[in-house]
Amino acid sequence: MVEMSQPSSIQEHARNSQKEKETFVDTIIEEDVGSMPGRLSHLFILWSLHYKTYLVLLTHGAWP
């Protein structure tokens, strides 16, 4: 018999992995933006937000 807690632990692990990825991406973005000129850093922030949205949609199966 399969325990009922197993799927929730898998989902919890997936959520934790996603949070770790987002934290890692945020850290890289903060380091890179600090070394860029003003206008370029704004473009990079916009691109990174788009990319993070893509990652979230992809991991939740909402992206084709």
Report pLDDT for 26. Answer: 63
Distances (CA, A) of 33 to 17, 29, 46: 24, 6, 11
- Tell whether 4 is covered by a domain: no
Residues in Cβ contact with 57 at an 8 Å cutoff, skipping those fewer than 6 apart: 63
Give a yes or no: residue 40 inside a domain.
Answer: yes
Neighbouring C-beta atoms of residue 48, cutoff 10 Å: 16
Q: Give the domain range for residue 49.
A: 16-59
pLDDT digits (tens, 9 = 90+) for 10-62: 667 667 676 766 666 666 555 555 565 566 666 677 777 777 776 666 666 66
How much is the pLDDT for 25?
Answer: 63
Number of separate domains in the chain: 1
**48 in a domain, yes or no?**
yes
pLDDT value of residue 63: 54
Looking at residue 42, what is its pLDDT?
66
Instruction: Tell me if 55 sits within 8 A of 21, measured CB to CB.
Output: yes
Q: Considering the domain boundaries, does residue 11 fall inside one?
A: no
Cα separation, 46 vs 35, in Å, equals 16
2 pLDDT tier (thresholds 50, 70, 90): very low
